[in-house]
Structure 1
Amino acid sequence: MKHTLSVLVEDQSGALSRISGLFARRGFNIESLAVGPAEAKGISRLTMVVEGDEETLQQMTKQLDKLVNVLNVIDLTRLPAVERELMLLKVSAKKDARKDILDLVQVFRAKVVDVSDEALILEVVGDPGKLVALEKLLKPYGILEIARTGKVALKRASGVNTEMLKSTSSGINLPA
């Protein structure tokens, strides 16, 4: 099972290296890692996606908590959270296909950030599923390059689990 961990760390040299080393020593692959400044000066938030069973992840979380520069670790996997990712996608866009591609861009609320005679660069932000869906639909046109940020996530302040609401048959459609 994939787990999304949110880790607050002090901005100290080697903190990221110690965290990634902890996972590497135990044979864990970090599938996605996004790091940036957090809400307080001198603190960074790491959002990482790792795969493993519940028991192993609990052990890893406890070991992360013991690292000197780690302030807090939250497993967001089963908590109501907002998850987003950014993808830049360069797609072949010859004249005859350009209108179809631009129609897809609108449906996915993506932005065209660069245009040439042969290609478009698109910027799309959303949950990881949205990015995968757009990539799949654009593949027949010829994807030339992709750059993705990795997932960033925060626990929902409202506590509302929109994933659960989407799966109910209430007919309520919530934006992602």
Structure 2
Amino acid sequence: MRKHTIAVIVNDQPGVLQRVSGLFGRRGFNIESITVGQSEEKGLSRMVIVTTSDDKMLDQMSKQLYKLIDVIKVDDISSNPMVARELALIKVTALPERRPEIMGIVDTFRAAVVDIGTESMMVQAVGDTDKIDAMIELMQPYGIVELSRTGVTAMVRGNIK
């Protein structure tokens, strides 16, 4: 069992996300992350799904996905060199005397402060999942008030399609 990142090109239609995620659920696959958005072609969307399975199970899932009418292409991009990114917004308790410490973490991770309140700060971090996990771990002692993560989006590097 290993982690797979799957890019799925689908028709941009209502209900497609539900049908794709329902297929995963019915087959007993857990979706660890899913992002959906416009693709380079009008009328098509790109889903990036992260799941854990063995190669045989993944092959079966790909075949099942192709049976859905709105699925155009399924590609396991995790076997190729790829760029994968995630966005996190992290709101932490930040009294004025603790802000320099928090800013040190923000700078180290090349993150950005996107909002400051009287008792809190909101930090935006972009990077791979490990980077986001590490940033969250270092922010825990300050008191995470709220956390929102986008899930992974990814593309194959270079000229490979």
CA deviation map 1:148-172 (0-9, x unaligned):
000000011256xxxxxxxxxxxxx
**Structure 1 vs Structure 2: percent identity of aligned residues?**
48
Q: Give per-residue Cα distances to partners, 1:11-50, cap 9 Å, x unaligned.
A: 1222112111111111111111100000011000001111
The match for 2:152 is 151
Q: 1:158 to 1:42 in 2, by over 3 A?
A: closer
Q: Distance in 2 between matches of 1:17 and 1:133?
A: 31
Q: Which residue of 1 aligns with 2:12?
A: 11
For 2:23 and 2:94, the matched residues in 1 are separated by 44
- The corresponding residue for 1:78 is 79
**Which segments of structure 1 move beyond 4 Å, counting only runs of 4 or more?**
none
Query: Pairwise mapping of residues 1-176 of structure 1 onto structure 2 (< 5 A)?
Result: 1-158=2-159
Could you list the runs of 5+ residues in structure 1 that have no partner in the other structure? Answer: 160-176
Question: Separation in 2 of the partners of 1:92 and 1:77?
Answer: 37
Partner of 1:112: helix, strand, or coil?
strand
User: What is the CA–CA distance in structure 1 between the aligned matches of 2:33 and 2:58, rounded to whole Å?
Assistant: 16
Which letter maps to 1:72? K
Count of aligned pairs between the two proteins: 159
Write the letter of the residue equivalent to 2:106. Answer: V
- Scaled by the length of structure 2, the TM-score of the pair is 0.94
- State how far apart, in whole Å, the 2-side matches of 1:108 and 1:13 are: 38
* Letter aligned with residue 142 of structure 1: G
CA distance in 1 between counterparts of 2:36 and 2:94 reads: 33
Structure 2 unpaired stretches of 5+: none
- TM-score with structure 1 setting the length: 0.87
Q: What is the RMSD computed on CA atoms of the aligned residues?
A: 1.1
